[in-house]
């Protein structure tokens, strides 16, 4: 038996295909002690395994992960394409900002991609272009197609995806599978309501694999995680809004949370149009949500 190191590129029915550090694909299985320890290998995991030349190998160890997602179930993600519909479903800054905060928390670089552009009137497109400027000024990469899936926007995305491990995420109906099909025509993923109807009530194999995108890799399974939970403390939320964090250092009070404090550089930046009002409103909303979640202990509450 020879020991190898590599990254899991396919997970299917208890088998894991690992691309070794020297570029060979080996099929492996997890030993029973993985289950006992509650460890589930994920696509994207860097692993050690042992294998004979022509036989399936056995996973020995999973390296520490820098992050992991539930939908799609992938580890060590470098960046996420956030497919954001402008209509059907309607564009929501609240949802987009929740996703951005969650990805910042996981150390995943977000790229915002606007879909369903063809449904906008010229005036609506101009209004969206202003929103795009706001997000770009906040420090995010934004891809705004002139037409849905036009070649310039696809080329821009392929350049972004040319390194690291990427996932495609977004709301149901935003066009994630369609985008993946345009980026890599060999995928031929099922899209739209028809595929949802077909898969409803059926047992579908949970398969995830990585497909090459230039020098990078993309998970072929799009995902959408619900972003209900903020794991950080309310006073740390400022770190997860890039532009708010940038202005924080100019606030008069150290530890300013940009709500009721005087001489707050963040509130001043909002008033001057340097930070989008919608971003600040969502910051306040998320802050309140985190605060409301805190357990309140009543010292007079005694158990008998």
What residue segments make up the domains of the chain, in order of their start? 2-62, 79-219, 234-293
Q: Range with the lowest mean pLDDT among 23-27, 77-81, 125-129? A: 23-27
Structure tokens at 240: 């997860």
pLDDT of residue 225: 65
Q: 264: annotated binding-site residue?
A: yes
Residue 170 annotated as part of some ligand binding site: yes
Beta strands in 63-179 (DSSP E): 79-85, 109-115, 141-143, 165-170
CA atoms within 13 A on the CB side of 200: 6
**Residue 115 annotated in ligand binding:** yes
Architecture of domain 2-62: Beta Barrel (2.40)
Determine the Cα angle at 157 with ends 152 and 163, to 5°.
Answer: 140
116 is in an annotated binding site: yes
- Looking at residues 234-239, what average pLDDT do you find? 95
Answer yes or no: is 174 a known binding residue. Answer: yes
- Residue partners of 19: CB distance under 8 A and separation at least 6: 6, 7, 9, 25
* Superfamily designation of domain 79-219: P-loop containing nucleotide triphosphate hydrolases (3.40.50.300)
Catalogue the E-assigned strands of the chain.
2-12, 15-20, 25-30, 46-51, 57-62, 79-85, 109-115, 141-143, 165-170, 208-213, 216-219
SS3 content of the chain, % helix, strand, coil (to 5): 35, 25, 40
Interatomic CA distance for residues 248 and 244, integer angstroms = 6
Q: Map tokens 């470098």 to a residue.
A: 78
pLDDT digits (tens, 9 = 90+) for 144-185: 999 999 999 999 999 999 999 999 998 888 889 899 999 987
Give residue-wise pLDDT tens across range 77-123.
999 999 999 999 889 999 999 999 999 999 999 999 999 999 999 99
pLDDT in tens, 255-282: 999 999 999 999 999 999 999 999 999 9
Distances (CA, A) of 112 to 109, 160, 207, 236, 267: 10, 11, 25, 24, 25
Q: Which residue has the tokens 């899936």?
A: 149
219 is in an annotated binding site: no
∠ CA(76), CA(77), CA(80), 5° rounding? Answer: 170
Q: Per the omega criterion (within 30 degrees of 0), is the bond before 72 cis?
A: yes
CA distance 143 to 37: 42
CATH class of 234-293: mainly alpha
Residue 173 labelled as part of a binding site = yes
Cα–Cα distances in Å, from 57 out to 8, 32, 276? Answer: 12, 13, 53
Flag whether 258 is marked binding.
yes
What value does the mean pLDDT take over residues 41-68?
A: 92
The helix (run of H) or strand (run of E) holding residue 106 is helix 93-106
Taking each helix axis from N to C terminus, what angle separates 93-106 and 277-293, rounded to the nearest 10 degrees? 70
User: pLDDT at residue 14 above 90?
Assistant: no
d(CA 46, CA 66): 11
Q: Which single residue is written with the structure tokens 């369903």? A: 116
pLDDT of residue 300: 52
Binning pLDDT at 50, 70 and 90, where does residue 197 land? Answer: very low
pTM: 0.89
Identify the CA nearest to 245 among candidates 110, 140, 99.
140
Q: How confident is the model at residue 4 (pLDDT cuts 50, 70, 90)?
A: very high
- Rg of the chain, C-alpha, whole Å: 22
């Amino acid at each position: 038996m020879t020991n190898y190191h590599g990254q899991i590129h396919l997970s299917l029915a208890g088998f894991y295909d690992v691309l070794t550090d020297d570029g060979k694909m080996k099929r492996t299985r997890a030993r029973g002690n993985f289950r006992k320890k509650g460890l589930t290998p994920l696509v994207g995991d860097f692993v050690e395994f042992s294998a004979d030349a022509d036989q399936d190998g056995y996973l020995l160890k999973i390296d520490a992960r820098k992050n992991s997602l539930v939908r799609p179930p992938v580890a060590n993600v470098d960046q996420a394409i956030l497919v954001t519909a402008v209509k059907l479903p309607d564009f929501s800054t609240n949802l987009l900002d929740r996703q951005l905060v969650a990805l910042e928390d996981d150390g995943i670089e977000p790229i915002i991609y606007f879909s369903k552009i063809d449904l906008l009137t010229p005036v609506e497109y101009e209004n969206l272009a202003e929103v795009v400027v706001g997000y770009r000024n906040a420090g995010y990469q934004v891809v705004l197609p002139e037409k849905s899936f036009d070649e310039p926007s696809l080329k821009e995305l392929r350049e972004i995806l040319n390194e690291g491990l990427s996932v495609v995420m977004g709301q149901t109906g935003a066009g994630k599978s369609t985008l993946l099909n345009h980026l890599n025509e060999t995928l031929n993923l099922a899209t739209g309501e028809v595929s949802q109807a077909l898969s409803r009530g059926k047992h579908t194999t949970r398969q995830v694999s990585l497909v090459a995108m230039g020098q990078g890799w993309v998970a072929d399974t799009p995902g959408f995680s619900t972003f209900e939970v903020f794991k950080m403390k309310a006073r740390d939320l400022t770190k997860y809004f890039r532009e708010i964090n940038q202005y924080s250092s100019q606030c008069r009070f150290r530890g300013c949370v940009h709500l009721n404090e005087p001489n707050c550089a963040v509130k001043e930046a909002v008033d001057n149009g340097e930070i989008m009002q919608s971003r600040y409103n969502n910051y306040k909303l998320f802050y309140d949500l985190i605060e409301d979640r805190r357990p309140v202990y009543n010292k007079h509450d005694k158990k008998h």
